[in-house]
Structure 1
Amino acid sequence: MLFLQLVLFVVLLPDGGSEDDFQLPISIRMILTSSFYNHSWTQNQGSAWLDELQTHGWDSKTGAFTYLQPWSKGNFSNKELKEQERSLHIFSTGFPPIFHNHVRQWQLEYPFQVQVVKGCELHFGKALECYLRIAYQGSDLVNFQNMTWQPSPKGGSRAQQICKLFNQYYVVNKIVHVHINDILPRFFLGLLDAGKAYLLRQVRPEAWLSTGPSPGPGRLLLVCHVSGFYPKSVGVMWMWGEQEQWGTQRGDILPHADGTWYLRVMLDVVAREAAGLSCRVRHSSLGGQDMVLYWEQPHSMGLVFLAVIVPVVLLAGLVLWLWKCW
């Protein structure tokens, strides 16, 4: 595992760059969700995610993977991928009957969901950590450690009973151990290597200002929109000169279909104090030069009316005078 960790960092650092070139932590998660509707009806759904980016889907009927990115196969051969498809298909057909057969003993109530999650996490300065966990109704139930199943602290007696049963399958657990400590890390490594150009790309954000619903009489809700940026890490601040303003409201960073991100940051201010405020955007794609947008008070409707009507009246008068002269 130490050798794998060293190789992984070599892969992640392009052209002798620093660790900052690749934003850590980063993780891969493979999720199999089994929905148990009744004793004879179970539905399975599978997917794989590199952080918030979905890289794979899964057809529960055929057992085939769906590759959602051009680099989703990583460095695995077609033969290895077929073996993994076969392994997942066998597991998805053999796993639900275990829960069906122990509904009463484990005090399960239809309908319910069981999630099987396996993955790896890479943190700066730490060894690569891979895991396998099972959750019931979204709550941790059991996890696999050192060839054995361990109950989650919140799993109660149900988790202890499941561990007692699962730990009887020594041969299966040995296969699982190899998968978690060898196959899964190699796949994670290959996926990062194959998708390196995509994951290390820099996409400049677009930004604009607007107002939101009025917070009250004499107040403004200023909104700074930042869109289309990658990677995800971004700094957006409302400023007065060089002083950051307190009371900003930061929304969730939301994904676009193209893999870039969107964020809005709001500030509730007294309307007469809005002039002079600015929104500052910091992002790695900007090359160290912050993007700054200054808030300007909107012109009154009277000024807009004069700016439009006066030239029209003057032009009409000029046309009338030329017509008379002609």
Structure 2
Amino acid sequence: FLAATFLHSLFLPMPFLLLIFCSFATAFQEKISFKMIHTASFYNDSWVKIQNSAWLDDLQTHGWDTNSGRIIFLRPWSKGNLRKEEIKELEEFFRGFSVVMPQEIHKFASQWKFKYPFEIQVTLGCELNRGGAIVGFHQFAYQGSDLLYFQNNSWLPSAKGGTRAQDMSRLFNQNHAMKETVQRMLSDTCPRFLLSILDAGKADLQRQVKPEAWLSTGSNPGPDRQMLVCHVSGFHPKPIWVKWMRGEQVQQGTQQSDILPNADGTWYLQVFLDVEATETSGLYCRVRHSSLGGQDILLYLEHHQGSVGWIILAVMVSLVLLTALAFWLRKRCLFPHPP
């Protein structure tokens, strides 16, 4: 947090900032957040493994080289509008944070009943909401469970943090300089940097790639039942709507996998439907995505089953012809015609 003072005014002029603010509030129909994650794995009272990273929603934009203490910019636009000297100061901040935080945790580990080995997660960032407002957040967790969060210039214990969280919040709140720095980071620095990288990466972030979709069947979930699978891949941006339907009715029991990344930066999704084998008539998978211009993809199960039938028939005919050819060749070899 010590580096936040130099970050206060290093970003965009306010008129241009407001222009970008309005533009992205319209362009991104869903919430979008930027967060920095600090993870410290404490194996014993002398061995700590540090990991730092930064993310724009589910897209990692920055990494951290623990050996050199340098920020790794994972996208061409990850620097936003930062200058070289500003990047160096940020790296000094993260190096200091990665040294000071473990020392403090070691110091109070016994008092806070942290039992080795354990893991600490610190998240700091901000979120651009659909209405255009940017809200900062800062959380401190132990073993994956929230202990503290920052709100209205104060550290507050989480509801399930117990006496440990209450003791930690009292100690953290005594450091008024740190609280002011955190407040500045959340209300000024993070929003400016979020909008800065959104502007620098808008060509990549706002690109539209149409999905490809196809149907398959999974392993049968039970007697006289069938598992239908709708695959959707290669789409960007991430928000998508995929449902199994009959007529205009969404089918109950539709289950969706996590949306997973492809190597090219697009996304992949599977949507499942467990149905009675005799109740598949009229079912189809419907795909809605911003890249389709309002023209949904409709994949009808009857067409899929029909195409599978033709494939099976073609394979069977080919096998019969190959068998006949082999028999004919064998006969020619065993009983050749006389000269």
Same fold (TM over 0.5): yes
Offset of residue 105 of structure 1: 1.3
Equivalent position of 1:72 in the other structure: 78
1:206 paired residue among 186, 201, 212: 212
Q: Which range moves more in the overlay, 297-306 or 257-266?
A: 297-306
TM-score by length of 2: 0.83
Identify if the C-alpha distance between structure 1 residues 156 and 5 changes in structure 2 by more than 3 Å, giving closer, same or farther.
Answer: farther
Offset of residue 215 of structure 1: 2.1
- The Cα offsets for residues 236-274 of structure 1, whole Å up to 9 and x where unpaired, read as 122334443332222222222222111111222333443
Q: How many equivalent residue pairs?
A: 315
Equivalent position of 2:4 in the other structure: none
Q: Any gaps of 5 or more consecutive residues in structure 2?
A: 1-13, 332-336
- The Cα offsets for residues 31-55 of structure 1, whole Å up to 9 and x where unpaired, read as 0011111111111101001000000
How far apart are the structure 2 equivalents of 1:316 and 1:153?
76
- The Cα offsets for residues 266-309 of structure 1, whole Å up to 9 and x where unpaired, read as 22233344344322211111111111122243428984566336
Contact 1:212 1:222 in 2 (8 A): yes
Identify if the C-alpha distance between structure 1 residues 107 and 270 changes in structure 2 by more than 3 Å, giving closer, same or farther.
Answer: closer
Identify if the C-alpha distance between structure 1 residues 315 and 24 changes in structure 2 by more than 3 Å, giving closer, same or farther.
Answer: same
Alignment of structure 1 residues 157-168 onto 2, 5 Å: 157-168=163-174
Contact 1:63 1:89 in 2 (8 A): yes
Equivalent position of 1:129 in the other structure: 135
Identify if the C-alpha distance between structure 1 residues 217 and 162 changes in structure 2 by more than 3 Å, giving closer, same or farther.
Answer: closer
Question: Is 2:177 the counterpart of 1:176?
Answer: no
Question: Is 2:287 the counterpart of 1:293?
Answer: no
Question: Is 2:156 the counterpart of 1:150?
Answer: yes
Offset of residue 136 of structure 1: 1.2
Equivalent position of 1:16 in the other structure: none
Offset of residue 316 of structure 1: 10
How far apart are the structure 1 equivalents of 2:173 and 2:123?
18
* RMSD over equivalenced CA pairs, Å: 2.9
Identify if the C-alpha distance between structure 1 residues 8 and 318 changes in structure 2 by more than 3 Å, giving closer, same or farther.
Answer: same
Contact 1:5 1:128 in 2 (8 A): no
How far apart are the structure 2 equivalents of 1:250 and 1:302?
29
Contact 1:45 1:60 in 2 (8 A): yes
Equivalent position of 2:227 in the other structure: 221
For 1:299, the aligned partner's letter is: G
For 2:202, the aligned partner's letter is: K
Equivalent position of 1:190 in the other structure: 196
- The Cα offsets for residues 98-134 of structure 1, whole Å up to 9 and x where unpaired, read as 1111122111111111111100011122621112221
Equivalent position of 1:39 in the other structure: 45
For 1:173, the aligned partner's letter is: K
Question: Is 2:60 the counterpart of 1:54?
Answer: yes
1:9 paired residue among 21, 28, 35: 21
Contact 1:133 1:143 in 2 (8 A): yes
- The Cα offsets for residues 173-218 of structure 1, whole Å up to 9 and x where unpaired, read as 3333333322222111101111111111111111111110012333
How far apart are the structure 1 equivalents of 2:324 and 2:33?
67
Q: Which range moves more in the overlay, 101-110 or 123-132?
A: 123-132
1:95 paired residue among 101, 120, 133: 101
1:119 paired residue among 100, 106, 125: 125
Equivalent position of 1:86 in the other structure: 92
Equivalent position of 1:307 in the other structure: 317
2:237 paired residue among 207, 231, 237: 231
How far apart are the structure 2 equivalents of 1:313 and 1:64?
66
Aligned to 1:38, what secondary structure does the other structure show?
A: coil
How far apart are the structure 2 equivalents of 1:111 and 1:158?
17
**Identity across aligned pairs (percent)?**
53
Q: Which range moves more in the overlay, 84-93 or 244-253?
A: 244-253
TM-score by length of 1: 0.86
How far apart are the structure 1 equivalents of 2:312 and 2:87?
68
Contact 2:237 2:266 in 1 (8 A): yes
Contact 2:212 2:233 in 1 (8 A): yes
How far apart are the structure 2 equivalents of 1:115 and 1:301?
53
Identify if the C-alpha distance between structure 1 residues 286 and 106 changes in structure 2 by more than 3 Å, giving closer, same or farther.
Answer: same
How far apart are the structure 2 equivalents of 1:301 and 1:170?
72
- The Cα offsets for residues 10-35 of structure 1, whole Å up to 9 and x where unpaired, read as 3416xxxxx2x323211011000111
How far apart are the structure 1 equivalents of 2:322 and 2:111?
85
Offset of residue 9 of structure 1: 2.8
Higher relative contact order (CA 8 A, sep 6+): 2
